[in-house]
């Protein structure tokens, strides 16, 4: 793993999020001269052989890291995960079909709203009444559903699917905040999408992985730019792709591979999450905000038993160079995002701040 740069703050923001130090160094160099071309990565033609090589390697790395076979297409699109809330049902949901959704928070609710414009949507389960503090369980999945939509990790509320349902219905999944963080059984999924800026790269590109047999089953007219087939045929370069975000995502995927792949990431993420949750549970000033069995290993949410001390704690975090720990504006409290690139040292620093806070205020 990368050596921590002492002058760089520990970035606990949910996104745009932390990137590996080596990736930032390579990306910075490429903004001056990319691949010996005498041009910046920000200037080169997306039709050049040098950038074509970036596109090829990016797709190849995504397939290798996730264990994808030739039944899947890998696309690099724009518009963020939010654009996939409508592109997925537009491309996959026939007018006579039913898309099933599980509501686990802010982003799944937005996905449900968009999908409802294209066909029949059935919400199988929701934890909205409990303010999304857990993941629904033991819901029945209709065997004739076109697909089941899940949000694998919920950045706002700090919950995560520990596992995915056993079903013959293809799963469509928003993996924006935990892509490449753990091994998955790709055969369960018909489509995976992920905005890069939480765990893969900078904002500006969205990874879309679609199983070929999911396509060409709708009878509606689809605008050219919103048709997955358009981008498959043109290798994600029908229009000018976001070259720099794709390049940085490629570097990040290289980094994941060089550091042991997603299995190694999962082990380190488990260690970091356990370190922080142990302190939350042991420290009398703090409390977790989600059910223990559904706690996210990417976005750790917690609160203070005495909210009046929140600002004092924020000041202590800032003084220790731990930034971005304020909770989402819709829920308050605290949130520490500990994605793949967050070193254990960063989590330990935050834990030390919490311990010191308890000692000074106890």
Q: Where in 3-51 does DSSP place strands (E)?
A: 10-11
330: Cβ–Cβ under 8 A, 6 or more apart, which residues? 106, 156
Where are the alpha helices (H) located in 260-324, listed in sequence order?
Answer: 261-282, 310-319
CA dihedral 199, 29, 10, 344 (to 10 degrees): 70
Measured CA angle at 246 (ends 215, 180), to 5 deg = 70
**Rounded to whole angstroms, how far apart are CA atoms 193 and 134?**
22
Which position among 103, 178, 198, 294 bears the catalytic label? 198
Q: What angle do CA 250, 255, 261 make, to 5 degrees?
A: 105
Catalytic residue, from 107, 178, 294, 297: name it. 107
Residue 255 annotated to the active site: no
Annotation marks residue 198 as catalytic: yes
Q: Are strands 299-304 and 286-288 parallel, antiparallel or unpaired?
A: antiparallel
Q: How far apart are CA 18 and CA 14, in angstroms?
A: 9
Is residue 294 annotated as part of the catalytic site, yes or no? no
Task: Tell me which residues are annotated as active site.
Answer: 107, 174, 198
């Amino acid at each position: 793993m990368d050596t921590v740069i002492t002058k760089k703050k520990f970035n606990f923001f949910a996104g745009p999020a932390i990137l590996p130090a080596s990736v930032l160094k390579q990306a910075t160099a490429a903004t001056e001269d990319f691949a010996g071309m005498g041009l910046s990565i920000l200037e080169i033609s997306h039709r050049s052989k040098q950038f074509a090589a970036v596109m090829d390697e990016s797709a190849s790395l995504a397939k290798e890291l996730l264990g994808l076979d030739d039944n899947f297409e890998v696309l690099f699109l724009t518009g963020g995960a939010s654009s996939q809330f409508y592109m997925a049902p537009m491309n996959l949901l026939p007018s006579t079909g039913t898309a099933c959704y599980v509501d686990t928070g802010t982003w799944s609710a937005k996905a449900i709203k968009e999908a409802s414009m294209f066909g029949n949507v059935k919400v199988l389960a929701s934890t909205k009444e409990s303010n999304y503090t857990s993941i629904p369980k033991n819901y029945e999945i209709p065997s004739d559903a076109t697909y089941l939509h899940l949000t694998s990790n919920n950045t706002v509320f700090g919950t995560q699917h520990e596992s995915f349902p056993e079903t013959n219905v293809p799963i469509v999944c928003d993996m924006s905040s935990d892509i490449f963080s753990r091994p998955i059984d790709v055969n369960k999924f018909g489509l995976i999408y992920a905005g890069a800026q939480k765990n893969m790269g900078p904002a500006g590109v969205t990874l879309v992985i679609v199983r070929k047999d999911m396509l060409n089953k709708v009878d509606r007219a689809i605008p050219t730019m919103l048709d997955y087939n358009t981008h498959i045929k043109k290798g994600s370069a029908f229009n000018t792709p976001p070259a720099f975000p794709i390049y940085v995502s490629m570097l990040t995927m290289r980094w994941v591979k060089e550091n042991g792949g997603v299995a190694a990431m999962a082990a380190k993420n488990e260690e970091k999450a356990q370190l922080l949750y142990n302190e939350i549970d042991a420290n009398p000033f703090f409390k977790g905000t989600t059910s223990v069995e559904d706690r996210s290993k990417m976005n750790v949410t917690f609160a203070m038993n005495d909210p009046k001390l929140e600002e004092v704690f924020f000041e202590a975090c800032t003084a220790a160079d731990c930034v971005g720990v304020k909770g989402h504006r819709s829920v308050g409290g605290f949130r520490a995002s500990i994605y793949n690139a967050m070193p254990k040292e960063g989590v330990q620093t935050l834990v030390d701040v919490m311990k010191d806070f308890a000692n000074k205020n106890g």
